[in-house]
């Protein structure tokens, strides 16, 4: 796989949709296949678990503070949690941190906070960060009833130049509903089918790195990584 420089912002339709699970899997896959990779969760609020998951996935190549330079107590959007602590972080500071520590070749993966339009800093949201970093967006969504709306609304909020190219990853929910097996097909009426990837449930062992992903899961991860190249 070519190791050209690529900045990816993992965002999605909202909070709790599987951004960290997918990000950690992608980082581990890069490490395993020898592709240079750096991971960031620049702003955490209500705990640093996401950053710790990325630190573990990176195999100790990065410190927690490099992955997550800003963290706030309140389990609110980072923008609001920062304001409660009378602290200010600007989009420019976030972008500078990511650029300074990004890899020259290979993948720089940045997990946003919440969904695409969720406030991130005092002066911007996740979409603003994508634009400032000239990054590629990856849209994560939970594969349940309502996801067609959620994904279409999110894609529709991206600039046209990014909209059709963005990979959409549907993460299997804890409990499937009647729509789960149909959503990828339904979404392909609105988005290129080859840019929609379904990721199954992943055990705690695999999420934490204690267990290895199956061949089938690695194929999905490779498919997602290839989409970032095209």
| Residue 80 engages ligand ATP in binding (rule: CB under 6 A) | no
CB nearer to ligand ATP: pick between 47 and 59? 47
78 binds, among Mg ion, ligand ATP, none (CB under 5 to 8 A by kind): none
**Of the candidates 8, 10, 12, 19, which one interacts with Mg ion according to CB under 5 A?**
19
Q: What share of the chain is helix, strand, coil (3-state, %, to 5)?
A: 40, 20, 40
Task: Looking at residues 45 to 64 of the shown chain, list those that interact with Mg ion (rule: CB under 5 A).
Answer: 50
Q: Copy the structure tokens of residue 17.
A: 């949709």
* Residue 220 a catalytic site member: no
**Of the candidates 19, 28, 127, 144, which one interacts with ligand ATP according to CB under 6 A?**
19
Residue facing ligand ATP at closest CB distance: 18
Task: Looking at residues 169 to 188 of the shown chain, list those that interact with ligand ATP (rule: CB under 6 A).
Answer: 171-172
Helices (H), 34-116: 49-57, 64-67, 78-84, 91-101
Task: Looking at residues 96 to 155 of the shown chain, list those that interact with ligand ATP (rule: CB under 6 A).
Answer: 114
**CA-CA distances (angstroms) from residue 63 to 30, 56, 60, 74, 147?**
18, 10, 7, 23, 35
**CA-CA distances (angstroms) from residue 36 to 51, 64, 156, 163?**
18, 18, 32, 26
**Of the candidates 7, 8, 21, 170, which one interacts with ligand ATP according to CB under 6 A?**
21
Q: From the CB of residue 163, how many other CB atoms can be counted at a distance below 10 Å?
A: 15
Instruction: Please identify every residue annotated as catalytic.
Output: 41
Q: Which chain residues interact with ligand ATP by CB under 6 A?
A: 12, 15-21, 50, 114, 171-172, 199, 201-202, 207
């Amino acid at each position: 796989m070519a190791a050209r420089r690529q900045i990816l912002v993992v965002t999605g339709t909202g909070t709790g949709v599987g951004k960290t699970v997918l990000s950690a899997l992608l980082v581990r896959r890069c490490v395993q296949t020898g592709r240079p990779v750096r991971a960031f969760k620049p702003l955490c609020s209500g705990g640093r678990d996401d950053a710790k998951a990325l630190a573990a996935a990176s195999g100790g190549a990065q410190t927690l503070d490099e992955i997550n330079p800003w963290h706030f107590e309140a389990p609110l959007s980072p923008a609001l949690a920062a304001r409660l602590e009378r602290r200010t972080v600007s989009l420019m500071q976030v972008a500078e941190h990511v650029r300074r520590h990004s890899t020259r070749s290979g993948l720089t993966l940045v997990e946003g906070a919440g969904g695409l339009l969720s406030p991130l800093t005092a002066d911007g949201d996740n979409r603003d960060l994508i634009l400032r970093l000239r990054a590629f967006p990856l849209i994560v969504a939970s594969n349940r009833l309502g996801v067609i709306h959620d994904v279409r609304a999110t894609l529709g909020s991206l600039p046209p130049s990014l909209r059709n190219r963005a990979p959409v990853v549907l993460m299997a929910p804890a409990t499937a509903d009647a729509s789960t097996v149909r959503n990828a097909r339904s979404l392909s009426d609105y988005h290129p089918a080859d840019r929609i990837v379904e990721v199954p449930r992943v055990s705690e062992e695999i999420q934490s790195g204690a267990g290895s992903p199956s061949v089938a899961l690695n194929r999905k991860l490779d498919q997602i990584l290839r989409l970032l190249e095209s």
